[in-house]
C-alpha cells in the first residue's frame, strides 16, 4: 500500500539522476521516518532545557555575588569557546565511561546517549541564551529598577517580575536566532549513534550510496523545522511587543 504511494515518487526522480529507491524498502523507510521523529524529539527536549539553563546562568551572572558569578563566568567561557562535538565526545565517551565503571558494581548506568546529547547541547546553547539574556537584563533602565526597589521588591521578585520580562523582550531576536541554531545543532547526535535523521541517513547511505538524495531530504527537513521556529519567534515578537519600548 505504502509502496504504491512511493513508487511514482521514485519513478519521478529517477530520470533526474536522483535515486530514491530506499523509500521502497520497508526497513530503510522506517529507519528514516524514525530518525525524523528522534530529531523532533531532540528539538522538543533541548529547546526548553536550554532556555531553563540560560535563565539560571543569566541569573547567576547578574546576581552580583562573586562566589556565584565568578565560577559561572568560567563555565560560560569554557563552554562557549569549545566545539559542541568535542564537548559531546568528552561527555559521552570519557565521562560516561567513567560513570559506568564506577557504577558497575551497582548495576547499569542510567544515562542514555540521548540524555547526553540533551545535557551537552542544552548547556552549550544555554550559555548563549544566558549572554543574550544578560544583554537584555543590563538594558533594563536603572530608574525602573530603582522604582521597583523603592516599592519593596526583593532581589528574586526584581528578577522575575521586572528584569526578566523586559530582558526577554530585548533578547528575543537573539534568543530565536539561538534556537534556530539549536535545531541544527541536534545533528551532532549522529556522532554518538543516537538515531536522529542525520544518523539514520548515514547508516542508509553507507549501504546504498545515495548521499546526495538523502542530504537533500535532510536539508529540507531541517529547513522546515527552523522555519517553524522562526515563525513562532516572529509571532512572539509581535505578541510581546510593548508600546514605548523599542518602537
Partner 1 sequence: MSTQKFGFTRSAVALTLAAASAWLGSTPAHADDTLDRIKERKRVVIGVVVSGGPFGAIDPATQQLTGFNPEVARGLAQGLGTDVELVAVLPSNRIQYLQQKRVDLLVASMEWTEERAAQLTFAPTPYYRNGGAAIFRKDSGITRWEDLAGKPVCLSQGSNYGKPLTEQYGAQLKGFRGASESLLALRGGNCVAAVHDGTLIYRLVEDDAEWKGYAAPFDELIPSPSVVWVRPGEKDTAQAVDRVIQGWHRDGWLIATEKSVGISRPSAALVELQGAARAQAPLPQWAQK
Give CA–CA dist 43/184, Å, rounded: 9
Task: Provide the terminal-to-terminal Cα distance of the chain, rounded to the nearest Å.
Answer: 55
Using CB under 8 A, which of 19, 63, 174, 226 touches partner 1? 19
Residue 196 phi/psi, 5-degree rounding, is: -80, 180
72 burial level (CB within 10 Å; 0-12, 13-18, 19+): buried
**What string marks each residue from 166 to 195 as x (binds partner 1 by CB under 8 A) or -?**
-------------------------xxx--
Interatomic CA distance for residues 14 and 147, integer angstroms? 69
Nearer to partner 1 by Cβ, of 119 and 192: the residue is: 192
Identified binder of partner 1 from the candidate list 207, 220, 224, 234, rule CB under 8 A:
207
* Number of chain residues interacting with partner 1 (CB under 8 A): 27
**Nearest CB to partner 1, comparing residues 101 and 154:** 101
Specify the stretch interacting with partner 1 by CB under 8 A; choose among 74-82, 135-143, 167-175, 206-214: 206-214
| Phi, then psi, of 58 in degrees rounded to 5 | -65, -40
Helix axes 26-61, 164-185, angle to 10 degrees: 150
Residues in the chain: 247
Residues 78-117 that bind partner 1 (CB under 8 A): 89, 92-94, 96-97, 100-101, 104, 108-109, 113
185 with 121: CB under 8 angstroms?
yes
CB-nearer residue toward partner 1: 111 or 148: 111
| Residue 203 in the binding site for partner 1 (CB under 8 A) | yes
- Phi first, then psi, for residue 127 (nearest 5°) are -60, -40
Nearer to partner 1, 44 or 211 (CB): 211
Closest distance of CB 193 from partner 1, Å: 4
Per CB under 8 A, which of residues 39..68 are in contact with partner 1? none
Q: What nine digits make up the cell of 135?
A: 544583554
Rounded least distance, CB 52 to partner 1, Å: 27
Give the range of 33-41, 172-180, 200-208, 231-239 binding partner 1 by CB under 8 A. 200-208
| Dist. CA 237–CA 8, nearest whole Å | 42
CB of 157 to partner 1, least distance (A): 44
Give the C-alpha separation, 196 to 31, whole Å.
Answer: 9
Residue of 1, 5, 16, 86 that binds partner 1 (CB under 8 A): 16
How far, in Å, are 5, 24, 203 from residue 2 at the CA level? Answer: 5, 8, 22
Positions that interact with partner 1 (CB under 8 A): 16-19, 89, 92-94, 96-97, 100-101, 104, 108-109, 113, 191-193, 199, 202-203, 206-207, 209, 211-212
Amino acid at each position: 500500500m505504502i509502496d504504491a504511494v512511493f513508487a511514482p515518487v521514485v519513478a519521478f526522480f529517477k530520470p533526474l539522476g536522483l535515486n530514491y529507491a530506499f523509500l521502497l524498502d520497508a526497513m530503510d523507510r522506517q529507519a528514516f521516518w524514525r530518525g525524523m521523529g528522534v530529531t523532533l524529539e531532540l528539538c522538543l527536549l533541548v529547546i526548553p532545557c536550554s532556555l531553563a539553563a540560560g535563565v539560571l546562568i543569566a541569573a547567576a551572572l547578574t546576581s552580583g555575588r562573586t562566589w556565584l558569578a565568578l565560577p559561572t563566568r568560567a563555565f560560560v567561557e569554557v563552554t562557549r569557546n569549545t566545539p559542541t562535538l568535542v564537548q559531546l565526545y568528552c561527555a559521552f565517551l570519557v565521562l560516561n565511561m567513567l560513570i559506568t565503571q564506577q557504577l558497575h558494581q551497582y548495576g547499569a548506568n542510567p544515562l542514555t546517549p540521548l540524555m547526553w546529547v540533551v545535557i551537552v547541547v542544552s548547556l552549550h546553547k544555554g550559555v548563549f541564551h544566558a549572554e543574550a539574556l544578560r544583554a537584555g537584563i543590563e538594558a533594563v533602565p536603572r530608574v525602573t529598577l530603582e522604582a521597583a526597589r523603592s516599592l519593596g521588591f526583593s532581589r528574586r521578585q526584581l528578577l522575575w517580575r521586572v528584569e526578566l520580562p523586559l530582558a526577554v523582550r530585548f533578547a528575543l531576536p537573539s534568543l530565536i536566532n539561538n534556537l534556530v541554531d539549536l535545531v541544527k545543532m541536534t545533528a551532532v547526535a549522529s556522532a554518538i549513534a543516537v538515531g536522529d535523521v542525520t544518523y539514520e541517513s548515514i547508516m542508509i547511505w553507507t549501504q546504498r550510496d545515495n548521499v546526495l538524495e538523502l542530504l537533500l531530504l535532510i536539508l529540507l527537513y531541517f529547513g522546515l523545522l527552523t522555519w517553524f521556529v522562526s515563525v513562532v519567534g516572529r509571532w512572539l515578537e509581535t505578541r510581546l511587543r510593548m508600546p514605548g519600548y523599542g518602537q
